[in-house]
């Protein structure tokens, strides 16, 4: 069997097809011993290894063997059962990672957008409980400035005068401030500020349009709008509060697979992007 490249397993009635090398990632594990015909508990029936264990949990074990990374759904809760399965298969590095449940569990993330209109300008302030989300959002949002003739929200900017990008104001790691619209300069000239939010390529000057695009961007990024309220009625400051379950920084394995190695593994932190 060790020379056969493809291995088929039936785990609790769920069929898995993989490479022998995937199951041999950890030479001391029972799965590696199975491929090498050194574990008689796993019966070979009609060319398939039959394993009388939980097939659903084994899918996470297979994902770990293929990626060397623990990547679980945000609603996953069977940490202790999966740890028990990892121990059964002799995957003690995985079992050790699963024992660090507090590092793997997703956490609730809160984000708040404050918006106000004052004459021809709109002011935005975004607060977030997770600084990395604010950093990512700051990379998506660009404010451009330039002078234009005429006035009004919908005056198009002149393509002959290139707009200059402005840095966002960052009072702290957890918030950002920017504005759009126009303000009087001199004569019939106005300083205009346009906002672009990636991946949308438009440059918007109307505050209501910018707000709509911002909220839509957050919803597409997995946030859920949980409340809308007026913070200061005199200044007409509207507050939109969002939340989402953010996957915690996951754990990955670095495996030493040098000749003669017993598959010693060391854990390291890694940012898991999958399943926001």
Burial of 69 (0-12, 13-18, 19+ CB in 10 A): middle
Residues 6+ apart with CB under 8 A from 199: none
- pLDDT tens digit string along 89-135? 999 989 988 887 666 677 789 999 999 988 889 999 999 998 989 99
Write down how long the chain is. 276
Q: Render pLDDT for 142-194 as a digit per residue (tens, 0 to 9).
A: 999 987 665 454 555 444 467 889 888 999 999 999 999 987 665 567 788 99
H-helix segments, the chain: 20-23, 30-35, 55-67, 79-88, 92-98, 101-104, 131-140, 207-220
CA 127, chain centre distance (Å): 18
Confidence of residue 79 (pLDDT cuts 50, 70, 90): confident
**pLDDT value, residue 198:** 94
Paired residues of 58 in beta bridges: none
Q: Tell me the pLDDT of the chain averaged across its residues.
A: 82
Predicted TM-score (pTM) of the model is 0.58
pLDDT band with cut points at 50, 70 and 90 for residue 241? very high
- Domain limits of the chain? 6-105, 108-246
pLDDT at 28 over 50: yes
Say yes or no: domain 6-105 is CATH 3.40.640.10.
no
Identify the sign of the CA torsion 46, 47, 49, 54: negative
Residue 276: pLDDT band with limits 50, 70, 90 = very low
Cβ atoms of 152 and 146 closer than 8 Å:
no
Q: Distance (Å, rounded) from C-alpha 58 to C-alpha 11?
A: 7
> Rounded distance, CA 241 to CA 157, Å?
32
DSSP 77-123: --HHHHHHHHHHTT-HHHHHHHT-HHHHS-EEEEEEEEEEEETTEEE
Q: What pLDDT is attached to residue 148?
A: 65
Taking the CB of residue 21, how many other CB atoms lie within 10 A of it?
12
């Amino acid at each position: 069997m060790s020379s056969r490249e493809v291995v088929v397993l039936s785990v609790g009635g769920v069929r898995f097809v993989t490479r022998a090398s995937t199951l041999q990632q950890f030479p001391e594990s029972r799965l590696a011993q199975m491929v090498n015909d050194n574990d008689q508990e796993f019966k070979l029936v009609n060319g398939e290894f039959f394993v009388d264990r939980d097939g659903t949990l084994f899918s996470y074990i297979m994902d770990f063997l293929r990626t060397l990374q623990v990547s679980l759904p945000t609603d996953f809760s069977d940490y202790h059962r999966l740890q028990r399965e990892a121990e059964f298969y002799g995957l003690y590095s995985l079992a050790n990672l699963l024992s660090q449940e507090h590092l793997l569990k997703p956490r609730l993330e809160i984000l708040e957008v404050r918006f106000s209109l004052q004459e021809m300008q709109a002011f935005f302030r975004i607060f977030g409980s997770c600084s990395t989300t604010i950093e990512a959002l700051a990379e998506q949002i660009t404010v451009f400035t330039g002078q234009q003739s005429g006035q009004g929200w919908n005056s198009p900017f002149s393509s002959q005068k290139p707009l200059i990008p402005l840095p966002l104001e960052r009072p702290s790691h957890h918030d950002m401030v920017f504005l759009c619209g126009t303000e009087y300069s001199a004569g019939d000239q106005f300083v205009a500020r346009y906002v672009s939010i990636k991946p949308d390529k438009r440059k918007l000057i109307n505050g209501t349009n910018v707000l709509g695009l911002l909220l839509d961007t957050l919803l597409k990024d997995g946030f859920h709008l949980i409340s809308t309220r007026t913070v200061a009625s005199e200044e007409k400051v509207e507050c939109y509060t969002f939340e989402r379950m953010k996957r915690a920084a996951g754990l990955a394995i670095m495996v030493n697979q040098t000749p003669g190695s017993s598959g010693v593994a060391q854990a390291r932190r890694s940012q898991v992007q999958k399943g926001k």
